[in-house]
Amino acid sequence: QVQLVDSGGGLVQAGGSLRLSCAASGRTFSIGRFNMGWFRQAPGKEREFVATTRWNGGSVYYSDSVKARFTISRDNAKNTVYLQMNSLKPEDTAVYYCAAGGKFYSGPNYPVHANEYTYWGQGTQVTVSS
């Protein structure tokens, strides 16, 4: 049974930073064989893509709204993915979810849609005050 556990959320002032973690577990589950992504969902809005790192080569891709402020990284040995969030804005307030998907992408292609992921964490709340 695969489990993704999101943590690290909290309340922070605008301009501050947070680091989210996603710890994966499962008898044979290794994030090294999965694309790992972060999504977020604000109240009343649809879940939106934030960032992803491909399993093949570790290339990363970000949404325009977080590019240059957020950094996604993975530690395959620890089976953990991180999202470092800097220069946070009130509009970053949302529940953040990590996700794992196993399809192959190459070149300019990245999994940016929720239906391209199979496993999901439970979410962690990030609130940015102005």
- Tell me which DSSP letter residue 121 carries: B
> What pLDDT is stored for residue 66 in this prediction?
98
Looking at the chain, how many residues does it have?
130
> Would you state the torsion angle of the CA atoms of residues 94, 99, 101, 83, taken in this order, to the nearest 10 degrees?
80
Q: What is the pLDDT of residue 74?
A: 95
- So what's the pLDDT on residue 57? 80
Name, in order, each residue with C-beta under 8 angstroms of 96's C-beta and a sequence gap of 6 or more: 6, 9, 20, 38, 39, 40, 50, 83, 123, 124, 125, 126
pLDDT one-digit tens code per residue, 85-114: 999 999 999 999 999 998 899 899 999 999
Q: Which helix (H) or strand (E) holds 127?
A: strand 124-129
Tell me if 128 sits within 8 A of 89, measured CB to CB.
yes
Calculate mean pLDDT across residues 76-82.
96
- Specify the pLDDT at position 56: 84
Q: What is the pLDDT of residue 58?
A: 83
Of the candidates 122, 126, 114, the residue with the CA atom closest to the CA atom of residue 37: 114
Read off the pLDDT of residues 22-65 as tens digits, 9 standing for 90 and up: 999 998 899 999 999 999 999 999 999 999 999 988 899 999 99
Position 51 scores a pLDDT of 98
Q: Work out the pLDDT band at 117, boundaries 50, 70, 90.
A: very high
CA pair distance 109, 111, nearest whole angstrom: 7
- Do 84 and 92 meet the contact criterion of CB atoms below 8 Å apart? no
